[in-house]
Amino acid sequence: MAVELKGAFHTGLYRNLFLEYGYAEADIDSKLEQAWQELFYGDEDVRIYYQVGEDMAYMLDTGNLDVRSEGMSYGMMMAVQMDRQEEFDRLWTFAKTFMQHTEGRYKDYFAWHCRPDGTRLSQGPAPDGEEFFAMALFFASHRWGERAEPYNYADQARKILRACVHQGENGEGDPMWDPATKLIKFVPESPFSDPSYHLPHFYDLFALWADEADRAFWREAAQASRAYLHTACHPETGLSPEYANYDGTPAPVQRHGDYRHFYSDAYRVAANIGLDWAWFREDPWQVEQSNRIQRFFRDIDVADYRRYTIDGQPFDEPALHPIGLLATNAMASLAADGPDARRVVELFWQTPLRTGVRRYYDNCLYFFSLLALSGNYRIYR
């Protein structure tokens, strides 16, 4: 019984919910491998990975026809979890060559999007990319070992995290975490956060592997993020806004749009909470939160997913990424213990990868959910 009360970080045991719910192990393994092959080497209406020359590759945001730090870091995490070092190195080489700044206010950060030829479309960074880059690089170091720069993975991860915490202390620029609250920012210059960026399960690991001087900071950041999600998620619906102030309330309308509601970015919160519970089991609130969001969507068909206010009122606007929303709600079953946990996983199992123009974001979330629900989204140390 004691083993059941601890997460995979402590036990080394990763739940395979598909297996628990009666699916055959061979079918589970086949489904995961097939999804990898389709996303990385499949037909043009499914794949999102494209090789460039002898040593590079990018993940294409097919809805915007650009390359994002989000997608590049996601692709690297997928590759290290699947033990595919060649694809990992190709993605890292592209990101390092074309997206990472070498000087100025964004030194060691990554331009958040560029063209497939590497031309930057914006110089500014988006912190969800940096945290995924760092985590994937640490896992790569522990799984495959270190090589010559830029494949000295752990050193590269530490350089990114050093900038995230200390940028601006000795000159221009801003850190990616608010020094006072220890909460991740939406962008370095912003006075608010994005709840879907909060990955306390990553920060607990950064506290082991980042620069020694910063390890206490990362421990505090993990605690702060877990507490923050209590305030950002609605107490009845479980829905959270895309952008939120440091007190968890929806952030004001921005010049580039209104992000006070439950929409595309916010889907990831459920998945992140599920994985944090699977890895660490630090916060029992995460169980009821996962039950809440699954309960909210219980009677809503995937085809009818919408934009919602955080108290659950639907807009006359369909979800842009319904398969991604289904995938993250299924991943919440890693923490949920309510009557909807199995139903959502089974619905997800029956749902194929998305095809067509908007497939990129949906299928990134889909693949992470496949990894997690099959017990293959793991800590490498």
| Residue 3 pLDDT | 37
CA torsion angle 356 358 364 370 (round to 10): -60
Single-letter amino acid code for the residue at 193: S
Q: Please report the DSSP string for 102-144 in residue order.
A: -SSTTTT-B-SEE-TTS-EEE----HHHHHHHHHHHHHHHHHH
Residue 254 lies inside a defined structural domain of this protein: yes
Q: In the numeric block, which tokens belong to residue 126?
A: 């988006």
Burial per residue of 272-282, b for 16 or more beta-carbon CB atoms within 10 angstroms, e otherwise: bbbbbbbbbbb
Residue pLDDT, tens place only, 80-120: 999 999 999 999 999 999 999 999 999 999 999 999 999 99
Confidence at 297, pLDDT banded by 50, 70, 90: very high
The domain of 18 spans: 1-42+232-381
pLDDT, average across residues 275-287: 98
> Identity (one letter) of the amino acid at 164?
C
Is residue 16 within 8 A of residue 288, CB to CB? The reply is no
Predicted TM-score (pTM) of the model is 0.97
pLDDT tens profile 197-206: 999 999 999 9
Amino acid 94 reads F
Largest CA distance in the chain: 57
* Rounded (10°) angle between helices 359-373 and 268-279: 20
Answer whether residue 49 shows pLDDT above 60.
yes
- Measure Cα distances from 42 to 45, 353, 355, 376 in Å: 8, 11, 11, 22
Question: For position 171, what pLDDT does the model report?
Answer: 86
Average pLDDT (9-19) is: 98
**Distance between CA 67 and CA 120 in Å, rounded?**
9
Residue 157 burial (CB < 10 Å; 0-12/13-18/19+)?
A: buried
At residue 185, does pLDDT exceed 90? yes
> Which pLDDT tens digit goes with each residue over 220-241?
999 999 999 999 999 999 999 9
Query: DSSP state, 309?
Result: -
Q: Show the beta-strand stretches assigned E in 312-379.
A: 314-318
Residue 26's CB is within 10 A of a number of other CB atoms, namely 8
Mean pLDDT score, 37-46: 98
Task: Write out pLDDT tens, residues 360-373.
Answer: 999 999 999 999 99
Could you give the CA distance from residue 196 to residue 128 in angstroms, rounded to a whole number?
8
From CA 169, how far away is CA 96, in angstroms rounded? 24
Give the model's pLDDT for residue 1: 31
Provide the β-strand partners of residue 250. 244
The whole-number average pLDDT for the span 179-192 is: 97
Domain membership flag for residue 168: no
Phi, psi of 366 (to 5 degrees): -60, -45
Whether the per-residue pLDDT at 351 is higher than 80: the answer is yes
Distance CA 4, CA 27 (A): 26
321-335 pLDDT, tens digit per residue, is 999 999 999 999 999
Q: What is the mean pLDDT of residues 195-214?
A: 98
Within a domain: residue 222?
no
4 pLDDT band, cuts 50/70/90, is low
Q: Does a structural domain hold residue 19?
A: yes
User: Is residue 109 included in any domain, yes or no?
Assistant: no
Return the beta strands (E) in 214-347 as ranges. 306-308, 314-318
- Portion of the chain with pLDDT greater than 70, in percent: 99
User: What's the structural domain count of the chain?
Assistant: 1
CA-CA distance, 6 to 161, in Å (whole number)? 28
Query: In the structure, what pLDDT confidence band is assigned to residue 257 with cuts at 50, 70 and 90?
Result: confident
Dump strand ranges (E) for the chain: 49-52, 56-61, 66-68, 113-114, 120-122, 306-308, 314-318
Residue 210 domain flag: no
- Determine the pLDDT at residue 2: 35
pLDDT band of residue 255 (cuts 50, 70, 90) is confident
Q: Which residue has the tokens 């495959």?
A: 144
Catalytic residue set: 70, 265
From residue 258, alpha-carbon distances to 50, 211, 221, 242, 254 in Å are 33, 37, 27, 9, 6
Q: Which amino acid is at 180?
A: A
Q: Is residue 14 part of a domain?
A: yes
Which whole number is the average pLDDT over 303-325? 98
CATH classification at residue 251: 1.50.10.10
Considering the chain, what is the average pLDDT of its residues? 97
